[in-house]
Amino acid sequence: MGRVSFTGARVFDGAQFRDGALLVEGGRVIGFGPPEGHVVDLGAGVIAPGFLDLQVNGSGGVAIDASCDLAVLETVCAVQARLGATGCLPTLITDTHDATVRVVEAGIAATKAQVPGFLGLHLEGPHLDLRRKGAHDPALIRPMEARDLALVIEAAAELPALMVTVAPESVTLDQIAAMAAAGVIVSLGHTDCSADVARAAMAAGARCATHLFNAMSQMGNRTPGMVGAVLAAGGFAGLIADGIHVDPLTLRVALAAKREGVFLVSDCMALAGTDLTEFHLGGRRILRAEGRLTLEDGTLAGADLTLPRAVQVLVKDVGIAEERALAMASAVPAAVIGRDDLGHLRPGARADMVHLSPDWNLQGVWRDGVAV
């Protein structure tokens, strides 16, 4: 088609809004300015970098579990693109060592096949704290062993990115340091640790926190807990901004306290992109109702959320600046996984884009300049 100009919508480049049309050619951003070539009039709203979701437990009716293979990862990434996430980290929650091996093998196969939207893997567990297990199967939670560490280090060398969520209670500082040295994004979560223990883990190499506030020790006046340590530190923190996992007022306070490094995650399950009302995960029934996903006992089990909806919550319900909310779904997660080719629409960048209406509803998605 040659050069394409996207007009009628404000253009957010990953850091700020830009004047003029967004110019795209050959799957890359050319720049901004007067329309040239084929003109696509979006009418109104915002066009932004394709969103990146670093915590996706499943989509399209399939889960990331022991049965995961290349086809499952292809399905998850394709469905996520239609939901606004042009790239994602498929996420395995606490499972057996053998299941983890199979998911890693599938991830390596997806890397070799260059599956569109596959950015790597997120292993959330099994090295967590039983006291903060959330929806994870307590029978499978266990300390990290030598074979687990070896698997993670080997996987990091084969995958585009690897995030591993651990609780300081279930790993040693030496294990954290070894993972970090191998390029693993070590994220702290599902932990009841003190702020001092969390700080020690960060000093050893952990540089992220998994779903801030959820499944972690809270901030008190005399016990800052994991939440206090995260808010006071540098580094990154994922956030489920559905208005359910974290109250909008708490979101506002947290984002005022931690001005940089917070990124949005959906924590979505296999139901994402479907009309299903329930599914089974590891033999346990997950129910979907009123915007929530829960176990039968009412425990939250992931989220019924998309990143465009999370941006909408931040802007409309929490009062966060548009630029920051959009960056939390694009530029910040790109920084977490070290991808300077993603999360922005600067000249030369891949033309991975989303179009949001004035009310922040998803209207369109492009990957490499081609409509999804």
Catalytic site positions: 267
Could you give the CA distance from residue 238 to residue 219 in angstroms, rounded to a whole number? 17
* Full 3-state SS string of the chain: CCCEEEECCEEECCCCEECCEEEEECCEEEEEECCCCEEEECCCCEEEECEEEEEECEECCEECCCCCCHHHHHHHHHHHHHCCEEEEEEEEECCCHHHHHHHHHHHHHHHHHCCCCECCEEEECCCCCHHHCCCCCHHHCCCCCHHHHHHHHHHHHHCCCEEEEECHHHCCHHHHHHHHHCCCEEEECCECCCHHHHHHHHHHCCCEECCCCCCECCCCCCCCHHHHHHHHCCCEEEECCCCCCCCHHHHHHHHHHCCCCEEECCCECCCCCCCCCEEEECCEEEEEECCEEEECCCCECCECCCHHHHHHHHHHHHCCCHHHHHHHCCHHHHHHCCCCCCCCCCCCCECCEEEECCCCCEEEEEECCEEC
